[in-house]
Structure 1
């Protein structure tokens, strides 16, 4: 079940059960994964590790996912990491806010992991 190339995936969510499920799923497809439980830890992990893909919850302690995304985009790293919001926030205005913050995709929980996997696989690196 592995992908053709191993990519680095940072997953940040304050729900440990969801993180465990995400890790099991994406590891089965060959992703190398690091996790964080809040926005501050996610940003620190991003700075230290420079993952290809960052999957963030929005409503996290210490720093929300929008703030993390804005900071990552401010850094202007090339190639740009793919930023995925995976959140309970479902209103159209909240989706717009995710895109304004720099996310490439906004998925609503409970997210369909095969759909997220397809979004990652189909991206073009900028």
Structure 2
């Protein structure tokens, strides 16, 4: 039994110290995590994995891929113009390569848009 977990990054500048709020949507439940903008992507992943461990169902054989992974850190999400509508997905490892390419293309698009 494999479940897919949608990770939605919500950039909320109104939060204290421009914290980055992450909403994890899992079935009908939503989990909120606040991270400082200087968090590295690795730290962000660890924070998310920690939250996922508290899910009633076990999430197995999954790997978290952030579009930020091809960037320097979480703060660079701002520069890339990531919005509420950008959804990051926790996927089956087998699909990783295909998805990584999609994400990299998407980031390139965002980068180009940010440079204009």
Structure of greater relative contact order (alpha carbons < 8 Å, 6+ residues apart): 2
Higher fraction of strand: 2
Structure having the higher Rg: 2
